[in-house]
Amino acid sequence: MIFKRAIAILTVIFIFTCEFTCVEAMPGVSAQAYIVIDAQSGRILKSHNENKRLPIASTTKIMTAILAIETIDDLNQRIEVPPECSGIEGSSIYLRPKQMVSVIDLLYGTMLRSGNDAAETLSKFAGRNNPEGFISMMNKKAKELGALNTNFENANGLHDDNHYSTAYDLALISAYAMKNDTFRKIVSTEKYKAESMNNMFYNKNKVVYQYKYGTGIKIGFTKAAGRCIVASAEKDGTEIIAVLLNDNNWFNDSYQIFDWAFENYKCYSIVEKGQFVKYTPERNPVFIGESFRCVLTDKEIKQIRFEALIKPELMSNDSETKTCGTYNIYLGKTKLGTGYLIR
C-alpha cells in the first residue's frame, strides 16, 4: 500500500508528485487547470496549472456537504428553511420559507441537484453555534487539509472575486471527503427520493451513470468559472480523482483521463497492518502499524524500497504505547509515504 498517509488522525491527504517512469501519454485535456491523483495515496499522476487560483463554481459544495455531515449530529432531523435561503439565484431545489426539510434531503439536494438554497440552509444550520459562522469553518477546514490556496466567501459557489481554489486544493478536499461513507454514498447516487419534500432528485453529475466505473463527485458552472468538474472512478481497487477547471469538454475529458489512468496504473498493497517486519537485537518482534497502498506502473513496483526506523526506547514493556518507530516507502529516491511500526 502506498502511503498516503493521511497523516493523520485527521486523515489528511498530502498530495505529492512522482514523475519516475514513462507511461503512455495522457490524452489532451482542454481544461484551464487540472490534476489527476490516486485517491488512496494522493500521488499526482498528471497535472497542469494545478496551483493556479480560479473560481470553482458549485464544486464549492464539496466542502459545504462534508463539513455539514461532520458538524450535524442527526442527519435525519427536520430543520426550518430560513426565509433568506429561499429564492437564491442559480440552481435550486425550490425550498419555501419556513419549510421543514430533513438534513439528509438537503445534502442530496446540494450534491445531486446543486441546490444553492439547500447549501445555504445547511450552512445556516451547521454554523448556528459557531460565533464566526459557517464560512469561517469552511476556510479553517481547508487550511487543516492543506488547501492553502483556497478561500470561500459563500457555501454555494456563486461568483465572488475573493472566492477561489485550485485544482490541487480541490483534489485534497475531495479525496478527504470521499473517505466519509455518508458523503461517498450521496455523491455516487444516480437518483434519490427526498421523503421530506416528496420529490425525486436526479444527479446532474453524469459520471455516476455514464462512465462504467464512476463513483462521484460534483460539477459546477458559472460564467466566470466555466465548466468545472471533480470526478472519481474506481476499477479493481484503484480509485482515481480528476479535477478539471474551466473545461468545455468536462465529461469526455474525465472519461479519457480515467481510461488512461486505469490502462497505465494499478493499486498495489506495499505493506499490510500486522505484517512482521523484523526482530530487534533483543529478539522483540516489530510489525507494521498501518497499511500502505498506492498506484504504480508495472515497472515502478519493482523499484519500491522499504526502510524501518525503530526507536529502542519504545521497545520496553514499560512503554505506555505500542508504537515503536516509523517506516518509509521509497520509489527510487522519492519518498512515497510513511507509517508507524508497533511492537
Q: CATH fold of 269-342, please?
A: Spermidine Synthase; Chain: A, domain 2 (2.30.140)
pLDDT tens track for 32-53: 999 999 998 899 999 999 999 9
Query: Of how many residues is the chain composed?
Result: 343
pLDDT digit string (tens) for 111-149?
999 999 999 999 999 999 886 899 999 999 999 999 999
Report whether pLDDT(1) > 60.
Answer: no
One of 4, 41, 47, 61 is an active-site residue; which one?
Answer: 61
Residue tagged active-site, from 47, 58, 174, 188: 58
The residue-averaged pLDDT of 191-212 equals: 97
Q: What is the pLDDT of residue 15?
A: 54
Catalytic residue (one of 41, 47, 91, 114): 114
Query: CATH second-level architecture of 24-264?
Result: 3-Layer(aba) Sandwich (3.40)
Q: Count CB neighbours of 291 within 10 A.
A: 16
Nearest-angstrom CA–CA distance, 19 and 224: 33
Listed by start position, the domains of the chain span: 24-264, 269-342
Q: What angle do CA 159, 137, 55 make, to 5 degrees?
A: 20
- On average, the pLDDT of the chain sits at 91
Q: Where are the alpha helices (DSSP H) in the chain?
A: 61-71, 103-111, 116-126, 134-144, 167-177, 181-187, 207-210, 250-264
C-alpha span between 246 and 248 (Å, rounded)? 7
Report which of residues 11 and 80 the model is more confident about. Answer: 80
Catalytic status, residue 61: yes
pTM: 0.88
Per-residue pLDDT tens for 297-318?
A: 999 999 999 999 998 777 666 5
Band (10; pLDDT cuts 50, 70, 90): very low
Among the residues of 188-341, which ranges form H helices? 207-210, 250-264
pLDDT at 23 over 80: no
Mean pLDDT of 251-273: 96
